[in-house]
Amino acid sequence: MAILATTALQVATAAAYVVGRRGPLIAQAAVAPWSADHAELGRMVPEKVAAFASAATALALGVGLAQQAAAAHATAMVLAYAAGPTPVGFLALLGRTGSYNADSVARAVRTASEVLSPIHLSVTSNASRLAAARS
Protein backbone atom coordinates (compact mmCIF):
# COMPACT_ATOMS: atom_id res chain seq x y z
CA MET A 1 0.00 0.00 0.00
CA ALA A 2 2.94 2.31 0.61
CA ILE A 3 4.06 1.87 -2.99
CA LEU A 4 0.54 2.67 -4.19
CA ALA A 5 0.47 5.81 -2.04
CA THR A 6 3.90 6.87 -3.32
CA THR A 7 2.82 6.31 -6.92
CA ALA A 8 -0.36 8.34 -6.37
CA LEU A 9 1.71 11.17 -4.87
CA GLN A 10 4.08 11.08 -7.85
CA VAL A 11 1.10 11.26 -10.23
CA ALA A 12 -0.34 14.25 -8.38
CA THR A 13 3.00 16.07 -8.28
CA ALA A 14 3.85 15.37 -11.92
CA ALA A 15 0.32 16.27 -13.07
CA ALA A 16 0.52 19.63 -11.30
CA TYR A 17 3.86 20.30 -13.00
CA VAL A 18 2.57 19.27 -16.44
CA VAL A 19 -0.56 21.39 -16.10
CA GLY A 20 1.58 24.31 -14.95
CA ARG A 21 3.84 23.96 -17.99
CA ARG A 22 1.12 23.30 -20.55
CA GLY A 23 -1.28 26.01 -19.38
CA PRO A 24 0.88 28.82 -20.80
CA LEU A 25 1.38 26.81 -24.02
CA ILE A 26 -2.37 26.62 -24.48
CA ALA A 27 -2.76 30.33 -23.71
CA GLN A 28 0.00 31.21 -26.18
CA ALA A 29 -1.66 29.05 -28.84
CA ALA A 30 -4.92 30.92 -28.35
CA VAL A 31 -3.18 34.28 -28.81
CA ALA A 32 -0.69 33.33 -31.55
CA PRO A 33 -1.61 29.97 -33.10
CA TRP A 34 1.07 30.25 -35.79
CA SER A 35 3.87 30.20 -33.22
CA ALA A 36 2.34 27.59 -30.90
CA ASP A 37 4.12 24.41 -29.89
CA HIS A 38 1.94 22.18 -32.06
CA ALA A 39 3.94 19.05 -31.25
CA GLU A 40 3.28 19.43 -27.52
CA LEU A 41 -0.33 20.48 -28.03
CA GLY A 42 -0.86 17.47 -30.28
CA ARG A 43 0.31 15.06 -27.57
CA MET A 44 -2.22 16.16 -24.98
CA VAL A 45 -5.35 14.29 -26.00
CA PRO A 46 -3.91 11.08 -27.53
CA GLU A 47 -1.66 10.39 -24.55
CA LYS A 48 -4.54 10.80 -22.13
CA VAL A 49 -6.80 8.57 -24.19
CA ALA A 50 -4.11 5.88 -24.34
CA ALA A 51 -3.30 6.07 -20.62
CA PHE A 52 -6.93 6.01 -19.50
CA ALA A 53 -7.81 3.22 -21.95
CA SER A 54 -5.02 1.11 -20.44
CA ALA A 55 -6.22 2.03 -16.95
CA ALA A 56 -9.81 1.06 -17.82
CA THR A 57 -8.60 -2.29 -19.18
CA ALA A 58 -6.68 -2.97 -15.95
CA LEU A 59 -9.77 -2.04 -13.93
CA ALA A 60 -12.03 -4.33 -15.95
CA LEU A 61 -9.59 -7.24 -15.54
CA GLY A 62 -9.25 -6.59 -11.82
CA VAL A 63 -13.01 -6.45 -11.33
CA GLY A 64 -13.41 -9.67 -13.31
CA LEU A 65 -10.88 -11.45 -11.12
CA ALA A 66 -12.60 -10.14 -7.99
CA GLN A 67 -15.95 -11.43 -9.24
CA GLN A 68 -14.48 -14.85 -9.98
CA ALA A 69 -13.00 -15.03 -6.48
CA ALA A 70 -16.30 -13.91 -4.90
CA ALA A 71 -18.22 -16.55 -6.85
CA ALA A 72 -15.77 -19.27 -5.81
CA HIS A 73 -16.02 -18.20 -2.18
CA ALA A 74 -19.81 -18.05 -2.29
CA THR A 75 -19.93 -21.52 -3.83
CA ALA A 76 -17.66 -22.89 -1.10
CA MET A 77 -19.84 -21.31 1.58
CA VAL A 78 -23.03 -22.79 0.12
CA LEU A 79 -21.41 -26.23 -0.07
CA ALA A 80 -20.18 -25.93 3.52
CA TYR A 81 -23.65 -24.96 4.78
CA ALA A 82 -25.26 -27.75 2.74
CA ALA A 83 -22.95 -30.30 4.35
CA GLY A 84 -24.45 -29.44 7.71
CA PRO A 85 -23.06 -27.50 10.67
CA THR A 86 -20.13 -29.06 12.49
CA PRO A 87 -17.52 -27.39 14.67
CA VAL A 88 -14.74 -28.43 12.30
CA GLY A 89 -16.71 -27.24 9.28
CA PHE A 90 -17.41 -23.92 10.99
CA LEU A 91 -13.72 -23.39 11.78
CA ALA A 92 -12.77 -24.30 8.21
CA LEU A 93 -15.34 -21.79 6.91
CA LEU A 94 -13.96 -19.09 9.21
CA GLY A 95 -10.44 -19.80 7.98
CA ARG A 96 -11.55 -19.73 4.35
CA THR A 97 -13.43 -16.47 4.90
CA GLY A 98 -10.42 -14.87 6.57
CA SER A 99 -8.19 -15.97 3.72
CA TYR A 100 -10.71 -14.71 1.15
CA ASN A 101 -10.88 -11.32 2.88
CA ALA A 102 -7.09 -10.97 3.00
CA ASP A 103 -6.83 -11.99 -0.66
CA SER A 104 -9.56 -9.47 -1.54
CA VAL A 105 -7.63 -6.61 0.05
CA ALA A 106 -4.42 -7.66 -1.72
CA ARG A 107 -6.30 -7.97 -5.02
CA ALA A 108 -7.83 -4.50 -4.59
CA VAL A 109 -4.43 -2.92 -3.94
CA ARG A 110 -2.90 -4.79 -6.88
CA THR A 111 -5.74 -3.67 -9.16
CA ALA A 112 -5.41 -0.07 -8.00
CA SER A 113 -1.68 -0.20 -8.74
CA GLU A 114 -2.32 -1.67 -12.19
CA VAL A 115 -4.95 1.00 -12.92
CA LEU A 116 -2.64 3.81 -11.83
CA SER A 117 0.43 2.47 -13.63
CA PRO A 118 -0.28 3.71 -17.20
CA ILE A 119 -1.36 7.11 -15.89
CA HIS A 120 1.80 7.31 -13.77
CA LEU A 121 3.97 6.40 -16.75
CA SER A 122 2.33 8.98 -18.99
CA VAL A 123 2.36 11.91 -16.59
CA THR A 124 5.87 11.32 -15.22
CA SER A 125 7.21 10.95 -18.77
CA ASN A 126 5.54 14.23 -19.69
CA ALA A 127 6.96 15.96 -16.65
CA SER A 128 10.46 14.71 -17.45
CA ARG A 129 10.19 15.74 -21.10
CA LEU A 130 8.84 19.19 -20.23
CA ALA A 131 11.52 19.70 -17.58
CA ALA A 132 14.25 18.74 -20.05
CA ALA A 133 12.80 21.12 -22.67
CA ARG A 134 12.88 23.93 -20.15
CA SER A 135 16.61 23.44 -19.49
The secondary structure of the chain, three-state, reads: CHHHHHHHHHHHHHHHHHHHHHHHHHHHHHHCHHHCCHHHHHHHHHHHHHHHHHHHHHHHHHHHHHHHHHHHHHHHHHHHHHCCCCHHHHHHHHHHHHHHHHHHHHHHHHHHHHHHHHHHHHHHHHHHHHHHHHC
CB contact set of 26 (below 8 Å; sequence gap of 6+): 41
Predicted confidence (pLDDT) at residue 135 exceeds the cutoff of 80? no
pLDDT average, residue stretch 108-118: 96
Q: Would the pLDDT of 88 be above 90? A: no
pLDDT value, residue 93: 85
Residue type, 117: S
User: Could you tell me the residue range of the domain that residue 89 belongs to?
Assistant: 2-134
What pLDDT was estimated at residue 91?
86
Task: Supply the pLDDT for residue 119.
Answer: 97
* Position 16 pLDDT exceeds 90: yes
Instruction: Count structural domains, the chain.
Output: 1
Q: What are phi and psi of 37, to 5 degrees?
A: -85, 85
Q: Is it the case that residue 86 has pLDDT exceeding 90?
A: no
Quick one: what percent of the chain has pLDDT higher than 90?
79
Q: State pLDDT tens for residues 23-43.
A: 999 999 999 999 999 999 999
pLDDT at 33: 93
> What average pLDDT does this structure show over 40-48?
93
